[in-house]
Amino acid sequence: MGIDDLRKKATGYLNSDKGEQATDAALDRAASLVDAGTGRKHTDKITRGRDTLDEKIGTDAARKVESSGSTRADTEDTTGTDTHPPVP
Domain count, the chain: 1
Q: Is the pLDDT of residue 3 over 80?
A: yes
Is position 39 within any domain?
Answer: yes
Q: Is the pLDDT of residue 40 over 70?
A: yes
Question: What is the phi/psi pair of residue 15, to 5°?
Answer: -90, 0
Considering only the C-alpha atoms of the chain, give the largest distance between any 2 of them, rounded to a whole number of Å: 49
Structural domain of 51: 14-63
C-alpha pair distances (Å), 3 with each of 6, 7, 10, 81: 5, 6, 10, 16
Digit-coded pLDDT (tens) for 17-33: 999 999 999 999 999 99
- How many whole angstroms separate alpha carbon 33 and alpha carbon 50? 12
Is position 25 within any domain?
Answer: yes
Q: Is the pLDDT of residue 84 over 60?
A: no
